[in-house]
Structure 1
Amino acid sequence: MKRLLRWAMLPAGIVALIAFVLHRGVHDVVAAIDQAGWALLWLVPFHALPLLLDAQGWRALLGGRASLGFLWWVAAVREAVSRLLPVASIGGEVVGMRLARWRVRDATAVSASVIVEVLVTIGVQYAFSALGIVLALTSRRGVGIESIALGLLLSLPLPVLVFALVKKGGWFQAFERLAARMFGASHPLTQGIGGANLDAALDALMRQPGTLLRAFAWQLAGYVLGALEVYWALALLGEPVTIGEALAIEALTQAVRHAAFMVPAGLVVQEAAVMAFASMFGVGMDAAIALPLIKRMRETIFGCIALASWQIAEMTRRQRERGASANATGDI
């Protein structure tokens, strides 16, 4: 029922977004985008750069067991699945673990790296949001930012608690025992957990502060670089802002979007946040409305390309497996 209600919000959000643009005036918004021209399409390949830094952070947690190029592709697919497909919030991570095993045979190491990466990402999101709040306050434009800062501060104990619990360890063994009592020791779910090995792998990663710090630094660098999308887009729209202001707009938007994680793809929430924060930094309303539409355009195009490449890779892999199976049968 919760899942149904969650996805029922998607068409409602689309309708609300369209209604707002119509109310403001489609002609003015289109004119702002038209002023920027085809140069806006450069934002699509540009997104590959922050994603590359994010993949490097994941590679650090994997101990360099896969190439950066391969992990970059998997990261692109993970992001596209989470943002464009009707899956739960961890849907992209599940797909990412499956794809990573094409090159990294140790399933336990892959699972542990993704779990720890999610924890690192939470920390990065808090740090990036705090950076945005500081930049907004120091620019003397941060009217009403205090409430966001307070919300961020009050919610901080939750991720700290989660991090402490994971560091303590033993949770997947406990889950394995619970599954054995519920379904029986011979059930595929129980046998597929491998709680002891996963807990050991997680414990090993959590005892490597240098590795965690490198993953954190790479991810944070990716977030900062990704904020240049706002800087570039607004410059093309004829409403330039400073790099610090672009960082603040992106960071505060990310803070609001992650706070509203129950909304599919952050639809309307992200758009409203971008418009509000862009306007706060003196961006004209037409450009402020056009900016989130441009960000959605980039997200959709980049994500569709990633999803298409995933399907092509899956079909190619299945064909090779069938060919290998046919050859093995013929040899017999």
Structure 2
Amino acid sequence: MKRLQWAGLPIGIAILIGLVLHEGVGGLIQIIGQAGFALLWLVPFHALPLLLDAYAWHLLLGKRASLIFLWWVATVREAVSRLLPAAGIGGEIVGIRLAAWRVNDLSGVSASVVVEVMVTMAVQYVYSALGLVLIVAATHQAGVVRTIGMALLLSLPLPVIAVVLIRRGGVFYAIERWAGRLLRSTDSLLSAVDGRQLDADIDALLSRSGLLLRAFLWQLSGYLLGALETYWALALLGHPVSLSGALAIEGLTQAVRHAAFFVPAGVGVQDAAVVLLAQLFGVDRDVALSLALVKRMREVLFGCAALLSWQGGEVLRRLGGPSSVIKGRV
């Protein structure tokens, strides 16, 4: 996986550089400059969708850690997944480690993250499907929609198979045994979690349909709220679109980014998708690329702040113990 990601990175960077050079750096700077420092408000705004996402995790974790703490962990999880050249699950691993600072149940924390990821996959497909419906209704661009829709259908079997395997149980116990034989050591990371207990905790969560529905709705609300970033940014850049248009652009951009998981941070791929989709709603190409760059800058600024806070938390924990890091119960 890492080899595939490292191979995809230069391709993505080349796409992004090509887009910028084609439109001209000067024109892009002028468009973004006209919007001014108001664009910086998009950075703290991103914390609001993450709050709704963190509340879904808060529910799955049985409210055993404060919502504020999990909100902070959610920002770190996202930053690790999007900015660091790690495997796609890197953010989830870090999230489990940080949540264990407050919840003395590594298996329960791991189960909550695994189930949350499964809920997220369902939310992403629903969100992307909604984007497809809206873009068909607004633009009637059958060719583009057909291509994106086919990519979604082709990628659907993977999460379905993963959900079926996990639902049957025994998956993590089998992984634990396999890793033990492969590594010939009880000191592996997997040895910290009992495979049988993790399978049981996951199965217990998956059997609570009401809880899963609530987590799904909170996460979906976060995704819908996140579309306001595109709506607001385009308004600031001087080319406003409708709320449904912003939702369609954001939803299908997310779909393209997740389909191109082999490109770290979706560099180039996400930006090209934003340009293409925004143009379908009448946005000029240079403004569409400016939107892509603004979204990328927001991601970098917000993510870097989250990563710095994580390292600060690690330092405080080493110096003063767990009580020195974000705490409280909700």
* TM-score w.r.t. length of structure 2: 0.93
**For residue 158 of structure 1, what is the aligned residue in structure 2?**
158
Deviations 1:6-33 (A, max 9, x none): 2254345334422321221112111111
**For residue 253 of structure 1, what is the aligned residue in structure 2?**
253
Higher relative contact order (CA 8 A, sep 6+): 2
**For residue 33 of structure 1, what is the aligned residue in structure 2?**
32
Give 3-state SS (helix, strand or coil) of 1:188's partner: coil
Q: What is the alpha-carbon distance in structure 2 between the residues aligned to residue 137 and residue 56 of structure 1? A: 32
Query: For 1:51-90, what aligned pairs fall within 5 Å after superposition?
Result: 51-90=50-89
Aligned amino acid, residue 34 of structure 2: Q
Q: Quick one: percent identity of the two aligned structures? A: 60
**For residue 121 of structure 2, what is the aligned residue in structure 1?**
122
Gaps of 5+ in 2: 325-330
**For residue 243 of structure 1, what is the aligned residue in structure 2?**
243
CA contact (8 A) 1:260 1:266 kept: yes
Residue 131 in structure 1 maps to residue 130 in structure 2: yes
Deviations 1:183-233 (A, max 9, x none): 45x622364341111111011101100111111111111111001100000
Q: What is the alpha-carbon distance in structure 1 between the residues aligned to residue 234 and residue 174 of structure 2? A: 51
Change over 3 Å in CA distance of 1:89–1:135 after alignment to 2: same
**For residue 199 of structure 1, what is the aligned residue in structure 2?**
199
Q: What is the alpha-carbon distance in structure 2 between the residues aligned to residue 191 and residue 231 of structure 1? A: 46
Change over 3 Å in CA distance of 1:8–1:150 after alignment to 2: closer
Deviations 1:268-287 (A, max 9, x none): 00000000000011001111
Give 3-state SS (helix, strand or coil) of 1:312's partner: helix
CA contact (8 A) 2:5 2:263 kept: yes
Structure ID, larger Rg: 1
Q: What is the alpha-carbon distance in structure 2 between the residues aligned to residue 89 and residue 252 of structure 1? A: 19
Worse overlay, 304-313 or 158-167: 158-167
User: How far is 1:321 from its partner?
Assistant: 4.1
User: How far is 1:298 from its partner?
Assistant: 0.5
CA-atom RMSD, angstroms? Answer: 1.9
User: How far is 1:57 from its partner?
Assistant: 0.6
**For residue 328 of structure 2, what is the aligned residue in structure 1?**
none
Aligned residue pairs total: 322
Worse overlay, 28-37 or 72-81: 28-37
Aligned amino acid, residue 203 of structure 1: D
Deviations 1:18-58 (A, max 9, x none): 23212211121111111111110000010010000000011
Q: What is the alpha-carbon distance in structure 1 between the residues aligned to residue 272 and residue 290 of structure 2? A: 11
Worse overlay, 171-180 or 93-102: 171-180
Worse overlay, 288-297 or 172-181: 172-181
